[in-house]
């Protein structure tokens, strides 16, 4: 044989080794050196055009083969690791076998251990011994999967950590006893619930029991390294066990939830607080472990949706904002841990979105520890049906996350993986993943029959001893325990649970998480005006650029104009973006930190914001909201990655963790919010009712029909309004810069007193429109108005027969119409706040028109979209039978708007014409023009 056997990758390796030797013979070990002294590299097939001249020395072959074998074990050893506790054989790989390289055990015994390198070499006389040790490290019950890590320092560290075994737990008598006790507690908890509440859903952890000791190890590690907060996110599987034993949720509470007593006054169904099932509840430890508090946010059934929420919480917990500037983040202060399902991790896109946040400036948490609770099934689906990657964890490879696959029946290996995870995270501030491979003792839930679909697997499971039983047997064999002592531990844990059950008073022990309602009127009383003098000082501060900063020419002109924007209190100089900047600056000056994110928010989708300037010569950044002297809290602004679900989930988490900060997310166009629909439905709009959370996240959603087609017209307000209930959010569609100013300031003022998510439909073309602009005086006086009456019509109230109610941009279309001037019998009132519906304010407006006959709701959205479905019911109750009620707007449609700009104009014009035409039909009767549009559409079909 020639060394041609090692062509390709292996040849490269040999040549590299040879080059090293040529350069400095001392740089390779003596055996390799001796071999190379006699070797001709031209023997490598394909590496030279010269024919192979001399046969290779057997010694060289063996050296190279041994080196490659060791390298293969390090890279691919995980393929031969026994990961499945149920005994299915690993797939293996030919590269792990010496025969592949045509060397024998004897050959290896002739070579020195040093050839293999690493810690195993230090204690091995021969290469054979060292390779056997490598096999024990890489091919036993742990699969170290880190060859995809590109940073050499990290790879070397991981390699050394694995091969030195320095993170293997000592498992001395004391720690073994403690571990056995913990495993018993975990197992008995599930068995007790099964016995006491047979068939009741609890999504038992059994088969992955080591999850709890793994979390113990990770949290102690975090505590040791000074973390103040550990935030754990997980779905249903094993959640009750983790709540009980990691979050220290009292057994009484959990048992009371199983009893499920009806305590109506506690649930406050009258206020819309409906609660949630027990395996979605969150918790927080009341006392810290060391300095570390552990939190688990509640989560919905939607698997993995909690991922970005947890990461956002961890980011917020580690972010300090107490002074002006950009704030800062301390990764050691906080630790996110995410527990995933083996089917959900590869299947749900939000996992990839969250992983993608991990190394981005505004989102980095200093590393998340991921654990896949891998029971080898997803409901009834097998791995073959669930993922296209080799392992459930495959996605993590692309993000260069080290992966450790570990057999859940090997306690020491599990604890080693946990220790490796937190040590690596602490050292490199990067994500780490443990693929904990176990099984599921019962069906998907406890009422489910798994043998219908997995008969063979469940035959094995039926006779498979639990990890506690196996560990106890080992300890008994070692003489460290006796069967009686093991039984006593079991009994002790049963007794604790039995006592808790015996003394249970379910009605009292049940503590549904409800948020107290805000004091009435908190929102309407909030003071939001800022004296003109203060605004001028702040504005001046915002104009102070760093010395010698070169602005882009166009921006420089705009900045010049900004300097005088507050000079004349009565001039309409404040456009939307100026109002926004002054609102944010005044909020920061009041000591409330602000975080603003979204796609391209630094500049603004419509080039309107310019919160970050880039020096035209040097590219240096200048962020006025971070440098103005009056700021007493930090301003964070980040262009987000191109994600909706992931980033909205993240901001939601950030917001609930640090509710005193104003957190704002802006959509590129409002439409894209539907990419985050799961987060909106499952967390934002229902989180208070289900879990007593009090989010106050702000959504800026560009909205309005401007002829751009179905995809850039609507932020789908109907979706928010459909889930609007008295206590869950505010939805706004305001029409002036001053209204926006007061709205943002009011939100900041209400963060403590009356927090609610705020949805603002924001303008696009109107950002710079003179009719939207406000005067400085309007910022310096007054407050947000939920309804704005028609000030022109106040002079002619008795001639008004029709009141047109509208919201947002269409108002500008109406008042810009030439018919407005000649329609004295029509008044136009803006409903700036859609939810909660401002009935009282509207009633006052209605009462101001003595000759009123008809109320019209006018919108530019199709009839089945926009606010109509929501306001119709509200209006019917507000106006009773006093006036007739009519709808003007686009006809029902499957998409939000027409694709043609010309059709848009026709439809828009029709709306405006109809608003001023008093004699057309009844509420449900399509108007002449809309009928024409419909018949044209039918004709086209």
Interface with ligand TPP by CB under 6 A: which residues? 237, 301-303, 341-344, 348, 373, 375, 377-379, 444
- Tell which residue, 723, 616, 632, has the closest CA to residue 679: 723
Determine the 3-state secondary structure of 627 from DSSP: helix
Question: Of 350 and 805, which CB lies nearer to ligand TPP in the complex structure?
Answer: 350
Compute the least distance from the CB of residue 211 to ligand TPP, in Å: 11
Question: Of 114 and 375, which CB lies nearer to ligand TPP in the complex structure?
Answer: 375
Question: Of 444 and 746, which CB lies nearer to ligand TPP in the complex structure?
Answer: 444
Question: Of 320 and 379, which CB lies nearer to ligand TPP in the complex structure?
Answer: 379
Compute the least distance from the CB of residue 469 to ligand TPP, in Å: 22
Question: Of 190 and 832, which CB lies nearer to ligand TPP in the complex structure?
Answer: 190
Residues 888 and 911: their CA atoms lie apart, in Å, by 6
Compute the least distance from the CB of residue 303 to ligand TPP, in Å: 4
- 677-702 per-residue burial string, b: 16 or more CB within 10 A, e: under 16: ebbbbbbbbbbbbbbbbbbbbbbbbb
Contact present, 112 and 118 (Cβ < 8 Å):
no
Compute the least distance from the CB of residue 88 to ligand TPP, in Å: 17
Q: Which residue is nearest to ligand TPP (CB)?
A: 341
Compute the least distance from the CB of residue 213 to ligand TPP, in Å: 18
- Tell which residue, 189, 793, 926, 255, has the closest CA to residue 493: 189
Compute the least distance from the CB of residue 96 to ligand TPP, in Å: 29
Structure tokens at 259: 């009893």
Compute the least distance from the CB of residue 374 to ligand TPP, in Å: 7
Question: Of 444 and 562, which CB lies nearer to ligand TPP in the complex structure?
Answer: 444
Q: Any residues with CB less than 8 A from the CB of 105 and at least 6 apart, and which?
A: 98, 128
Distance between first and last Cα of the chain: 75
Question: Of 126 and 386, which CB lies nearer to ligand TPP in the complex structure?
Answer: 386
Torsion on CA atoms 353, 354, 355, 360, rounded to nearest 10: 90
Question: Of 382 and 884, which CB lies nearer to ligand TPP in the complex structure?
Answer: 382
Compute the least distance from the CB of residue 408 to ligand TPP, in Å: 13
Compute the least distance from the CB of residue 276 to ligand TPP, in Å: 14
Residues 924 and 940: their CA atoms lie apart, in Å, by 24
Taking CA 311 as the corner, what is the angle to CA 305 and CA 316, rounded to the nearest 5 degrees? 130
Rounded to a whole number of angstroms, the CA Rg of the chain reads 34
Question: Of 303 and 667, which CB lies nearer to ligand TPP in the complex structure?
Answer: 303
Compute the least distance from the CB of residue 931 to ligand TPP, in Å: 43
Beta bridge partners of 339: 234, 371
- 125-154 per-residue burial string, b: 16 or more CB within 10 A, e: under 16: ebbbbbbebbbebbbbbbbbbbbebeeeeb
- Tell which residue, 628, 618, 619, 548, has the closest CA to residue 581: 628
* CB neighbourhood size of 549 (10 A): 16
Compute the least distance from the CB of residue 376 to ligand TPP, in Å: 8
Question: Of 343 and 727, which CB lies nearer to ligand TPP in the complex structure?
Answer: 343
Question: Of 239 and 397, which CB lies nearer to ligand TPP in the complex structure?
Answer: 239
Taking CA 51 as the corner, what is the angle to CA 50 and CA 53, rounded to the nearest 5 degrees? 105
Structure tokens at 680: 């909106």
For tokens 């970005």, the residue is 308
Question: Of 286 and 301, which CB lies nearer to ligand TPP in the complex structure?
Answer: 301
Q: If you write DSSP's letter for every residue of 238-261 in order, what string do you get?
A: THHHHHHHTS---HHHHHHHHH--
Compute the least distance from the CB of residue 307 to ligand TPP, in Å: 12
* C-alpha torsion sign, points 827, 833, 837, 839: negative
Question: Of 169 and 450, which CB lies nearer to ligand TPP in the complex structure?
Answer: 450
Compute the least distance from the CB of residue 678 to ligand TPP, in Å: 8
Write down how long the chain is: 941
Say if strands 826-831 and 802-806 run parallel, antiparallel, or are unpaired. Answer: parallel
Structure tokens at 657: 């963790």
């Amino acid at each position: 044989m020639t060394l041609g056997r090692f062509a390709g990758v292996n040849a490269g390796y040999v040549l590299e080794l040879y080059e090293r030797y040529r350069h400095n013979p001392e740089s390779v070990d003596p055996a390799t050196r001796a071999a190379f002294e006699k070797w001709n590299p031209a023997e490598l097939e394909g590496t030279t055009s010269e024919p192979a001249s001399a046969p290779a020395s057997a010694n060289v072959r063996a050296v190279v083969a041994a080196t490659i074998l060791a390298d293969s074990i390090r890279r691919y050893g995980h393929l031969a690791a026994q990961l499945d506790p149920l005994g299915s054989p690993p797939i293996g790989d030919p590269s792990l076998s010496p025969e592949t390289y045509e060397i024998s055990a004897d050959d290896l015994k002739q070579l020195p251990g040093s050839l293999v390198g690493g810690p195993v070499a230090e204690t091995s006389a021969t290469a054979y011994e060292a390779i056997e040790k490598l096999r024990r490290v890489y091919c036993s019950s742990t699969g170290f999967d880190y060859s995809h890590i590109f940073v050499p320092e990290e790879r070397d560290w991981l390699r050394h950590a694995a091969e030195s075994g320095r993170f293997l737990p000592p498992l001395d008598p004391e720690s073994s006893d403690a571990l056995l006790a913990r495993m018993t507690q975990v197992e008995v908890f599930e068995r007790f619930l099964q016995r006491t509440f047979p068939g009741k859903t609890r999504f038992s952890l059994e088969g992955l029991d080591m999850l709890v000791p793994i979390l113990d190890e990770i949290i102690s590690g975090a505590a040791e390294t000074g973390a103040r907060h550990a935030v754990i996110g997980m779905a249903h599987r094993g959640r009750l066990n983790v709540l009980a034993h990691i979050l220290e949720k009292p057994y009484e509470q959990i048992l009371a939830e199983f009893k499920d007593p009806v305590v109506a006054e506690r649930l406050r169904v009258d206020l819309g607080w409906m609660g949630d099932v027990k395996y979605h509840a969150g918790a927080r430890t009341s006392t810290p472990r060391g300095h570390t508090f552990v939190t688990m946010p509640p989560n919905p059934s939607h698997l993995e949706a909690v991922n970005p929420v947890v990461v956002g919480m961890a980011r917020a917990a580690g972010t300090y904002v107490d002074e002006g500037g950009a704030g800062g983040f301390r990764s050691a202060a906080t630790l996110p841990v995410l527990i995933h399902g083996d089917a959900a991790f590869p299947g749900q896109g939000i996992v990839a979105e969250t992983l993608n946040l991990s190394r981005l400036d505004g989102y980095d948490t200093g590393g998340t520890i991921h654990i896949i609770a891998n029971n080898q099934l997803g409901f009834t689906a097998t791995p073959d049906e669930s993922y296209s990657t080799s392992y459930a964890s495959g996605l993590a490879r692309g993000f260069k996350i080290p992966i450790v696959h570990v057999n859940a029946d090997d306690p020491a290996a599990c604890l080693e993986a946990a220790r490796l995870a937190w040590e690596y995270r602490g050292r490199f501030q990067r994500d780490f993943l443990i693929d904990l491979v176990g099984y599921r003792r019962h069906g998907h839930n406890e009422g489910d029959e798994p043998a219908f679909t997995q008969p063979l697997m469940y035959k094995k499971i039926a006779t498979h001893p639990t990890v506690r039983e196996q560990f106890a047997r080992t300890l008994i064999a070692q003489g460290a325990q006796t069967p009686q002592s093991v039984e006593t531990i079991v009994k002790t844990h049963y007794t604790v649970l039995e006592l808790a059950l015996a003394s249970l008073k379910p009605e009292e022990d049940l503590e549904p998480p409800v948020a107290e309602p805000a004091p009435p009127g908190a929102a309407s009383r909030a003071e939001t005006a800022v004296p003109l003098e203060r605004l001028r000082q702040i504005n001046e501060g915002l104009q102070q650029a760093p010395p010698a900063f070169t602005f882009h020419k166009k921006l420089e002109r705009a900045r010049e104009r900004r300097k005088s924007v507050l000079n004349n209190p009565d001039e309409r100089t404040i456009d939307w973006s100026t109002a926004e900047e002054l609102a944010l600056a005044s909020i920061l000056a009041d000591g409330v930190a602000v975080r603003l994110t979204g796609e391209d928010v630094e500049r603004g989708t419509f080039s309107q914001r310019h919160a970050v300037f880039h020096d035209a010569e040097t590219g240096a950044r200048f962020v006025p909201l971070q440098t103005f002297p009056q700021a007493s809290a930090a301003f964070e602004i980040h262009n987000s990655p191109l994600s909706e679900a992931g980033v909205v989930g993240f901001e939601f988490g950030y917001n609930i963790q640090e509710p005193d900060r104003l957190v704002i997310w802006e959509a590129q166009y409002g439409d894209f919010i539907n990419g985050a629909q799961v987060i909106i439905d499952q967390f934002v709009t229902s989180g208070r009712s289900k879990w007593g959370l009090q989010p106050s996240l702000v959504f800026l959603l560009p909205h309005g029909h401007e002829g751009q087609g179905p995809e850039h017209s609507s932020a789908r307000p109907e979706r928010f309004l459909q889930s609007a209930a008295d206590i869950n959010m505010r939805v706004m569609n305001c029409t002036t810069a001053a209204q926006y100013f007061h709205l943002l300031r009011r939100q900041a003022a209400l963060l403590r007193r009356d927090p609610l998510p705020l949805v603002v439909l924001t303008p696009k073309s109107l950002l710079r429109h003179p009719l939207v602009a406000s005067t400085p005086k309007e910022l310096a006086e007054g407050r947000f108005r939920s309804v704005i009456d028609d000030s022109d019509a106040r002079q002619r109230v008795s001639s008004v027969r029709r009141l047109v109610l509208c919201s947002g941009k269409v108002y500008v279309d109406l008042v810009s119409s030439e018919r407005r001037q000649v329609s004295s019998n029509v008044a136009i009132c803006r409903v700036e706040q859609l939810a909660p519906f401002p009935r009282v304010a509207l009633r006052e407006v209605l009462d101001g028109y003595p000759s009123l006959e008809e109320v019209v709701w006018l919108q530019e959205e199709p009839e089945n979209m926009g606010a109509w479905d929501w306001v119709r019911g509200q209006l019917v109750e507000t106006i009773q039978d006093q006036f007739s009620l009519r709808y003007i707007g686009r006809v029902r449609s499957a998409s939000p708007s027409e694709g043609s700009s010309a059709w848009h104009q026709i439809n828009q014009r029709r709306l405006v014409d109809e608003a001023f035409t008093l004699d057309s039909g009844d509420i449900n009767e399509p108007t002449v023009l809309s009928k024409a549009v419909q018949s044209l559409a039918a004709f086209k079909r």
